[in-house]
């Protein structure tokens, strides 16, 4: 069943390795909506040296979080730019219950109620496999993210003179710590939204297409 009355308004939660960016790319092809990764948007603002970029550059460089008031005001601007016939998918916000409360208030004012909260689930062993085997191929041409067990991708990288590099935060002990931090941050948010009846826990194992289909079935099944 297709969404009938309005395009979806979604929040996507998922641990490192769950494939949030991949799912966002697949879901915007399913429904008319705009994917907003707050981290990516802020990096783009910094690179473009916009007023916002200049405001957050020093904050992020010093390891601090962007103040809630600035983040909410910025997100409101991004959402107001989305045409009324399109929905949105948020990735990276909210991160705290206070942010979630502020987001609810803003969405009520914008008359854009949430359709669903998607929580991707991934086992620790699967996350370690995915991220621990992740490599970035640097060399001629565009950077490419591959898995060390993908022999064809590894050969393709080496054949073009590329160099396979592992990110420091993809080491197994770091991955486990990142997963722990994610759970500590996310569980209070899930509890905050649970009473709304729109939280869907989705198995993030399997192919990207299989995971996307699970999300689609959960969201459209509510309509």
Catalytic residues: 20, 95, 134, 167, 178
Distance CA 221, CA 2 (A): 9
Count other C-beta atoms under 10 Å from residue 33's C-beta: 21
Beta strands in 54-98 (DSSP E): 87-91
Contact 179, 18 (CB under 8 A): no
Helices and strands in the chain: count of H runs, count of E runs: 9, 8
- What is the CA angle 146-149-151, rounded to 5? 80
């Amino acid at each position: 069943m297709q969404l009938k009355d309005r395009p979806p308004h979604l929040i996507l939660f998922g641990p490192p390795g769950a494939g949030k960016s991949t799912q966002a790319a697949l879901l915007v092809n399913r429904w008319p909506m705009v994917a907003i990764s707050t981290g990516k948007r802020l990096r783009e603002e910094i690179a473009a040296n916009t007023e916002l970029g200049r405001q957050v550059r020093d904050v992020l460089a010093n390891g601090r979080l962007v103040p809630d008031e600035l983040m909410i005001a910025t997100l409101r601007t991004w959402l107001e730019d989305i045409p009324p016939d399109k929905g949105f998918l948020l990735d990276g916000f909210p991160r705290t219950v206070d942010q979630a409360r502020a987001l609810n208030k803003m969405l009520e004012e914008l008359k854009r109620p949430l359709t669903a909260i998607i929580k991707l689930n991934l086992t620790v062993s699967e996350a370690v496999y995915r991220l621990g085997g992740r490599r970035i191929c640097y060399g001629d041409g565009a950077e490419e993210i591959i898995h060390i067990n993908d022999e064809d991708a590894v050969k393709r990288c080496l054949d073009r003179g590329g160099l396979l590099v592992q990110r420091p935060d993809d080491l197994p002990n770091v991955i486990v710590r990142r997963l722990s931090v994610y759970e500590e941050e996310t569980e209070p948010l899930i509890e905050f939204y649970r009473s709304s009846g729109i939280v869907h826990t989705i198995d993030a194992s399997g192919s990207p297409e299989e995971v996307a289909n699970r999300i689609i079935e959960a969201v459209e099944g509510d309509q």
